[in-house]
């Protein structure tokens, strides 16, 4: 789909194109997918596919996932843990960032496991043939049906609270099954991120608090149907700091040592994920390699301090694997100028395909895919089409002069866009394609109006035309 490829950088896109195309480039430090380039002097291509033509073929809006960038992130995590950690390790993709059959299959083919947080995510991973010994089931309110699904599949269950522990004990004793579990602890470590995505401090809905842990250990030591093999903690998301994860290693190893005193095996330690990505030019996250090295060094130091053997080390990156691998393409429609205040341009999507700006005040960058050589000399507000004044995709977008029909591309939309998408205003959710080497494959079909009413039920008395409103 690409002709006359140009690797030179354009006036409007020069700050967005990957600064480093080498195999060691850390995708989370790039604004664009690693394969992004300008073709025919003016057009954006990703995975050697012309973005404008992708929208013509698959419709608009459209999620575009670059397979090369996705696989590069997986491989960099795998290679870094092998390089910096002498013990066994397993990288788990935190699939809440984007869970669908194709993404699960790609990640699993790179040797990663998958972290799921619901029966639906678990079912999807199982249908994608992810090996069950690489599946870990999280969540703070798992239903009995979800617990039974996890037990039958033989996946590891990360127990979050007393209620779940009691339910799991009851189910395993009824079915004579043995549950393989880890315990989620609240370590009391804060990191500087958005309040809603900060999950490791003491005031959190997740995990056992420190004053409960020894009682949990004692209970598990007397429960034959549950085998507790390790501990888990997660301290937040979109983190740029290294120190919180280094502190976490010391806290967790202290509790690992106490668990062993209660006769629990404590073979695995899961330090969560949370490494951030570059959404704007000012964002400066650590590279995948640097983050992994810092974590591994901290765990080894903590093990030495507590005279503990190296556990199997698990991590759960999500955003830093999928975030920079995806962009969302939109078609520009109406425009409005409010004199001396702002200029609006409207796209054919918004809060139903990317709720993060209205939910978290998240900031994104964008380009015009069919005007990559044009100077970005206009400051505009990119608005969505939904019936909400707050449906703003980007408050201040520096773009070339735009016209209806132009293709606007929002960068870094792989994490929590598709997974949090909705049908607000009864708008069908977009399609998604996986691009690689000039080939584009549909991985999520575009919803139709028929899909919107597929599960609606119309009582018969309302179809006769003689409905009684009394």
Element holding 156 (H helix, E strand): strand 156-159
Q: What are the DSSP calls for 80-143, one per residue?
A: HHHHH-SS-EEEEEEGGGS--HHHHHHHHHTT-EEEE-SHHHHHHHHHTT--GGGEEE--SS--
Q: Does the annotation mark 387 as catalytic?
A: yes
Rounded-to-integer distance, Cα 183 and Cα 269, Å: 10
The active-site residue, picked from 49, 74, 104, 387, is 387
Distance (Å, rounded) from C-alpha 342 to C-alpha 86? 56
Which phi and psi (to 5°) does residue 39 adopt? -120, 155
Q: Does residue 213 contact residue 257 with C-beta atoms inside 8 Å?
A: no
* 149 torsion bin: left (phi>0), alpha (psi -120 to 50), beta (else): alpha
Torsion of the alpha carbons at 95, 97, 101 and 102, rounded to the nearest 10: -110
Where do the H-state alpha helices sit in 262-377?
288-305, 319-322, 356-360
Instruction: Collect all residues with Cβ–Cβ distance below 8 Å to 6 and sequence separation of at least 6.
Output: 37, 38, 39, 40, 41
Pairing of strands 43-46, 37-39: antiparallel
How far apart, in whole angstroms, are the C-alpha atoms of residue 257 and residue 213? 12
Q: Catalytic residue numbers?
A: 387
């Amino acid at each position: 789909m690409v002709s006359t490829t140009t690797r030179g950088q354009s006036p409007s896109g020069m700050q967005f194109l990957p600064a480093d195309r080498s195999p060691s480039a850390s995708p989370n430090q790039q604004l664009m997918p690693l394969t992004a380039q300008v073709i025919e002097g003016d057009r954006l291509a990703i995975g050697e596919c012309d973005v404008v033509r992708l929208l013509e073929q698959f419709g608009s809006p459209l999620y575009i996932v670059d397979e090369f960038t996705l696989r590069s992130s997986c491989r960099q995590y795998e290679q870094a843990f092998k390089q910096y950690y002498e013990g066994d390790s397993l990288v788990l993709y935190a699939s809440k960032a984007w869970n669908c059959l194709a993404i699960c299959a790609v990640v699993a083919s790179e040797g990663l496991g998958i972290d799921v947080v619901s029966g639906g995510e678990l079912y999807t991973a199982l249908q994608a043939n992810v090996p069950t010994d690489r599946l870990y089931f999280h969540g703070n309110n798992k239903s009995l049906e979800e617990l039974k699904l996890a037990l039958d599949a033989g996946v590891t269950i990360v127990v979050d609270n007393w209620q779940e522990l009691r339910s799991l004990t009851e189910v395993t004793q009824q079915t004579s099954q043995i549950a393989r579990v880890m315990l989620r602890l609240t370590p009391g470590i804060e990191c500087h991120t958005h309040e809603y995505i900060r999950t490791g401090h003491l005031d959190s809905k997740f995990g056992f608090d420190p004053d409960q842990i020894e009682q949990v250990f004692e209970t598990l030591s007397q429960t034959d149907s549950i085998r507790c093999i390790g501990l888990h903690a997660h301290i937040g998301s979109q983190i740029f700091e290294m120190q919180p994860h280094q502190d976490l290693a010391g806290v967790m190893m202290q509790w690992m040592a106490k668990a062993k005193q209660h006769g629990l095996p404590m073979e695995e330690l899961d330090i969560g994920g949370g490494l951030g990505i570059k959404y704007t030019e000012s964002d400066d996250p650590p590279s995948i390699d640097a983050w992994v090295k810092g974590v591994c060094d901290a765990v080894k130091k903590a093990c030495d301090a507590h005279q503990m053997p190296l556990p199997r080390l698990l991590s759960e990156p999500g955003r830093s694997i999928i975030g920079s691998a995806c962009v969302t393409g939109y078609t520009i429609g109406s425009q409005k100028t409010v004199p001396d205040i702002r200029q609006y341009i409207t796209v054919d999507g918004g809060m139903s395909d990317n709720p993060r700006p209205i939910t978290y005040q998240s900031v994104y960058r964008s380009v015009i895919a069919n005007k990559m050589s044009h100077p970005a000399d206009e400051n505009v507000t990119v608005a969505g089409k939904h019936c909400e004044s707050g449906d703003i995709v980007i408050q201040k977008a520096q773009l070339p002069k735009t016209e209806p029909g132009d293709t606007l591309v929002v960068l870094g939309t792989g994490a929590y866009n598709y997974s949090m998408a909705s049908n607000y205003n009864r708008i069908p959710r977009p399609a998604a394609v996986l691009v690689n080497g000039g080939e584009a494959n549909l991985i999520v079909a575009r919803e139709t109006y028929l899909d919107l009413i597929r599960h609606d039920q119309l009582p018969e008395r309302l179809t006769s035309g003689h409905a009684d409103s009394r």
